[in-house]
């Protein structure tokens, strides 16, 4: 079955880690880069996330993920460089516009944070099957009912997208105008979304009955077809992450007091 995912099939150490370990790394590295308003701290985490991505052999895909925010990052440099409220020291002039040091440094700080966020989450997303992540979370205590919701979204979206193209074809064959002026296109939006909503709600009702019959609502502990193992490496990495996190928080508090 087609499932929505960015997972890249490789066999590396990073791929074999437990999904929660990678999730923990992403969360902790993001929180730390926001605790310290320092470009150096940000750069250290960008470097470490990037080295994880390279060792997991997903560097090329990572570039594609970063492309999504490229334009907004460029516009941050321009807008903050020109108009940041604490701007005082001019650095260079371009086409008669003066860029300031304070704004450029501030935009650099924002950029390292966002880039770290994308790469650290990217490592998780590109090296983990979404279903493995959901299974792992359920095995660690997430409600299985919510686990089902998360897992089924990933299957339903591709299903609905194929319904989408069926509906588009059907409406076009009835003469639906999908080009033309804004009003025409807007009414086409209704003609396309309406049947999709009705169709998916009817299917959802059937699905609810089907899983209810198969014991979905049963209370009690669940067993798993596939156990996600927690290896020794996972345990050590988790301990290390908790230590780094605690040190960072304590250090931050000390800096505040002093």
Site for other proteins in 22-51 (CB under 8 A): 34
Which of positions 120-179 make contact with other proteins (CB under 8 A)? 121-122, 125, 130, 133, 143, 145, 148-150, 152-154, 156-157, 159-161, 164, 168, 178
Count the helix, strand and coil residues of the chain and give each as a percent rounded to the nearest 5.
70, 5, 25
200 binds other proteins (CB under 8 A): yes
9 binds other proteins (CB under 8 A): no
Q: Which is nearer to other proteins, 99 or 121 (CB)?
A: 121
192 binds other proteins (CB under 8 A): yes
Which of positions 70-89 make contact with other proteins (CB under 8 A)? 71-72, 75-76, 78-80, 82-85
| Integer-rounded Cα radius of gyration of the chain | 24
Q: Which is nearer to other proteins, 51 or 75 (CB)?
A: 75
φ, ψ for residue 174, nearest 5 deg: -90, 5
What is the smallest separation between the CB atom of 90 and other proteins, expressed in angstroms? 15
Classified as helix, coil or strand, 82 is: helix
Q: Which of 201, 225, 254, 257 binds other proteins (CB under 8 A)?
A: 201
Q: Which residue has the tokens 């959802």?
A: 204
Distance of alpha carbon 107 from the chain centroid? 22
Question: Is the CB of residue 112 less than 8 Å from the CB of residue 43?
Answer: yes
215 binds other proteins (CB under 8 A): no
Question: Is the CB of residue 131 less than 8 Å from the CB of residue 151?
Answer: yes
């Amino acid at each position: 079955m087609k499932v929505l995912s960015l997972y890249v099939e490789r066999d590396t150490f990073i791929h074999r880690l437990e999904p929660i370990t990678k999730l923990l790394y992403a969360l902790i590295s993001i929180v730390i880069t926001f605790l310290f308003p320092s470009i150096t701290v940000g750069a250290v985490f960008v470097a470490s996330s990037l080295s994880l991505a390279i060792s997991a052999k997903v560097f090329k895909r990572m570039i594609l993920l970063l492309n999504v925010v490229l334009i907004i990052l460029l516009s941050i440099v321009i807008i903050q460089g020109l108009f940041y409220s604490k701007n005082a020291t001019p650095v260079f002039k371009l086409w008669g516009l003066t860029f300031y040091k304070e704004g450029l440094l501030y935009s650099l700080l924002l950029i390292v944070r966002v880039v770290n966020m994308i790469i650290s989450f990217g490592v998780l997303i590109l090296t983990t099957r979404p279903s493995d992540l959901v299974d792992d979370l359920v095995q660690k205590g997430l409600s299985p009912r919510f686990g089902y919701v998360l897992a089924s979204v990933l299957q339903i979206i591709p299903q609905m997208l194929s319904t989408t193209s069926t509906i588009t074809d059907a409406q076009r064959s009835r003469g639906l105008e999908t080009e033309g002026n804004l009003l025409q296109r807007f009414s086409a939006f209704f003609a396309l979304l309406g049947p999709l909503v009705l169709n998916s709600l009817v299917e959802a009702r059937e699905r609810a009955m089907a899983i209810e019959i198969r014991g979905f609502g049963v209370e009690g502990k669940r067993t798993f077809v596939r156990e996600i193992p927690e290896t020794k490496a996972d345990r050590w990495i988790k301990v290390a992450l908790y230590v780094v996190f605690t040190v960072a928080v304590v250090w931050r508090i000390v800096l505040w007091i002093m």
